[in-house]
Amino acid sequence: MSYNHPEYLISVDELAEQMDDASLRVFDTSVLLHATDQGYTSEPGRARYLEEHIPGAAFINLTEDWSDTTSGLNNTLPGIAALSQAIGNDGIGNDHLVVLYSSSHLMWATRAWWLLRYAGHTNVRVLNGNLAAWIDAGLPTRSDAERYPAAEFTPSPRRDLFVNTEEMTRGMHEAVCTINALSPALYAGTGDFYYGRRGHIPGSRSVYFADILQNEFFLPAPELKAVLEAQGMLSAPRTLIYCGGGIAATLDGFACMLLGQENVGVYDGSMSEWAADDALPLTLGDTP
C-alpha cells in the first residue's frame, strides 16, 4: 500500500536530483517555541537557518511575515491579500515547485504547506525526514542568507482548510470527526502545561501528532492509515483538527491528505482561542 498522494512529499534523493530546476523554490520554515504560563511564544528560527541550510534554500518567517501579528494569538492566519503578498515577496509564484522543510520540528513545514494550499498553490511538497534526513544522507549544506527574487502570486483560496470557533462548536453536534493533535496529557488535562483551562473540546478524540512520525519521517502508509482510521479520521465526511495554536494540527491534517481525506479543516485559534472563552465547554479525562 502506498500513499494516495505521494506527490505531497519529496525525499532527499528526489530533491537532490532537482536542485538545478529553475522553477524550484526551497524554504526553511523553522520556528522555535517557548512555553509560558499563558501558553507559548514563538521565535523565528532564522539563526539556525543562517548556521546551516540546504543550498539555495531561502527562509520563510512564518511567525511574522506569514501571520497576522495584530492578533492576540500566535501565528494567526492573515487575510488572504496579506498572505498572498508575503508568498510573492518570498519569491513564490503560482508556477513554482515549492519544497518546505524545517531545522526545528516538521510541523512548521506542514503549517507552511497548509497556508500555501489555503492560498491556492497546489505544487507544494514537504521534505520527508526534514533537514536531518538531508544531513544524514551526507548532502551539502550552506550558511548565511539566501533569497529568491520577488514574484507575483495570485490567490485562489480554499477557505474550507481553516475552521473558526463557530464551526468547531457546531462540530460537537454534527456528524464530523473532531481530533485533538496534542499530547495525551494535554488532551486529558493532566499535565503541568495547559492552555488557560484544562481539557479538550467535548466529543473530540486524541491523535497525538508525534504518533504519525518516526524520526521525522511520516509513517509508512499502512501504519499511518491504521493510526488515523482508528479514530475515524479518513472515513468521516469531514475531519476537524485542533491543537494549541493551529500548528501541530497541520501535521495530522497533512497525514489525512496523504491518504486521500481531502475534507479537512484546521482550527486556527485552537486551544489558545477556545480555552480563553469561559463560555466554551471543555472535557477532562482520556475519553471524548
Q: What is the pLDDT of residue 41?
A: 76
Cα separation of 266 and 249, whole Å?
6
Q: What is the pLDDT of residue 36?
A: 67
CB 124 within 8 A of CB 167: no
Cβ neighbours, 10 Å, residue 91 = 18
Cα separation of 251 and 266, whole Å?
10
CB 116 within 8 A of CB 60: no
For the entire predicted model, the pTM comes to 0.96
The alpha carbon of residue 4 and the mean position of all alpha carbons in its chain are separated, in whole angstroms, by 19
CB 251 within 8 A of CB 114: no
Bridge partners of residue 28, in order along the sequence: 59, 101
Bridge partners of residue 55, in order along the sequence: none
pLDDT per residue as tens digits for the range 204-226: 999 999 999 999 999 999 999 99
Q: What is the pLDDT of residue 38?
A: 58
Which ranges of the chain have pLDDT less than 50? none
Residue 83's closest CA among 123, 44, 116, 124?
Answer: 116
Q: What is the pLDDT of residue 12?
A: 98
Pairing of strands 239-242, 124-127: unpaired
What DSSP designation does 25 have?
E
Cα separation of 260 and 264, whole Å?
10
CB 176 within 8 A of CB 168: no
Amino acid, single-letter form, for residue 66: W
